[in-house]
Amino acid sequence: MRIGLLTPSLSLEHGTGHYSIELISHLRRVGIQVDVISSKDTPIIKELQPIHNILPLGDGANFVRLCAVAPRVSWILRNCDIIHSTVERYAILSACIAHRRPMFLTAHGSFVHVDDAWRWPLSKMYRWAFSKSVRVMCVSQFTALRAKTVMPGLRTEVIYSGISIERFNRLVRQQCKGPPTILCVAAIKRRQGIIHLVRAVAKVREYLPSVRCIVIGTYQYGPDYLADVRSEIAQLQLQDCVQLLGHVDEPILLQWYANADIFDLPAINDKWRFEGYGLAYLEAGAAGLPVIGTKDCGAENAIDHGITGLLVFQETLKDDLPKAILQLLLDSDARICMGQAGRKKAESQSWERCTTAMIDVYRSVITDHQ
């Protein structure tokens, strides 16, 4: 079995890049040949070579450029048994070059809303590409439900995003050191709900004056929203307790996972955009942290309410989020129990298990096509 993967930039700064890197690495680790076509901005990662960095940047806006590069992509992947796009934006290209071969598509979240994500006629073409997929591999039950609602009859398979649990094996939790610490790891953009977290911290501070909140994540996706968040921090006079660190290197990130008391990512549905799963919840669980997320998004699948963390309603975040934060910060026993449960959940979703599940689906489809 030989797999042809079309991937976005292979960068750890965003979830789709992280997903693609892990899938490539683990497929090759078990001896499966993988030919990779990636976008032009992919950094050089020696461990993943060879990679063909030829795909144009962006999504539907570069449709003409995708058409131009299609013959070359088709030639490079000519000997592959399966074509798999690990991101929605390359669905049309993948469907066009697959010919009679099985074509897979990973759906991460928002872009299953094809009519909102792309203008006509691209939206119609994306509908066609989704329907050509022998399986749409959804990262959560929530994403699969949304996809089937938009495109009834879609053939979906749910394989939750995996985690490299070994990253957290040597992590030593810091007990009773420093102020109560809330950690959020997410790109600064509207659907991550960072501004709601800032407002919740202001209320929590009335009861726990020493509380601090650390937000780690790239700034590149929402400069206007970043300005709004910074303005809110200033207005609420939280400059001394809310820190926006931007993207940080792995050792620094792991240190904050070790120093934090709880993890909070209050995802918000922004029109058609929603959190498809929230790998950061799983990572926080692997680090032994209780997590807080929101209902009506993929966090419902990433968090076991009352076991690995707490889920609050998006509609009542103003009141419920500060209460959830205080509930965990004031109950050390609950934090420990939820952190332990979160670690077990993360272990059950290792990338080894996810890759095995992916390979099983590949093989079953190939058998059906023979």
Per-residue pLDDT tens over the stretch 17-39: 889 999 999 999 999 999 999 98
Domain 165-348 belongs in CATH node 3.40.50.2000: yes
State the average pLDDT over residues 284-307: 96
CA dihedral 110, 160, 338, 328 (to 10 degrees): -10
How do the domains of the chain map onto residue ranges? Answer: 2-162+350-369, 165-348
SS3 of 281, please?
helix
Place of tokens 């420093």: 178
Is residue 226 within 8 A of residue 246, CB to CB? The reply is no
**Are the CB atoms for 162 and 355 separated by under 8 Å?**
yes
Asked whether the CA dihedral 17, 21, 24, 26 is positive or negative, the reply is: negative
* Distance of alpha carbon 4 from alpha carbon 98, whole angstroms: 10
Q: Which CATH number fits domain 2-162+350-369: 2.30.30.230, 3.40.50.410, 3.40.50.2300, 3.40.50.2000?
A: 3.40.50.2000
Whether this prediction's pTM lies above 0.95 is answered by: no
Q: Which residue shows structure tokens 């659907």? A: 191
Q: Is the pLDDT of residue 57 over 80?
A: no
Evaluate whether 291 touches 174 at the Cβ level (below 8 Å).
Answer: no
CA distance linking residue 285 with residue 248, whole number of Å: 19
Taking the CA atoms of residue 328, residue 331, residue 332 and residue 337 in that order, the dihedral angle to the nearest 10 degrees is -70
Where is 115: in which H helix or E strand? helix 114-117
Q: pLDDT class for 176, splitting at 50, 70, 90?
A: low
Q: Does the fold of domain 165-348 match that of domain 2-162+350-369?
A: yes
- Range with the lowest mean pLDDT among 34-43, 114-123, 236-245? 34-43
Q: What is the pLDDT of residues 101-119, one digit of tens each?
A: 999 999 999 999 999 999 9
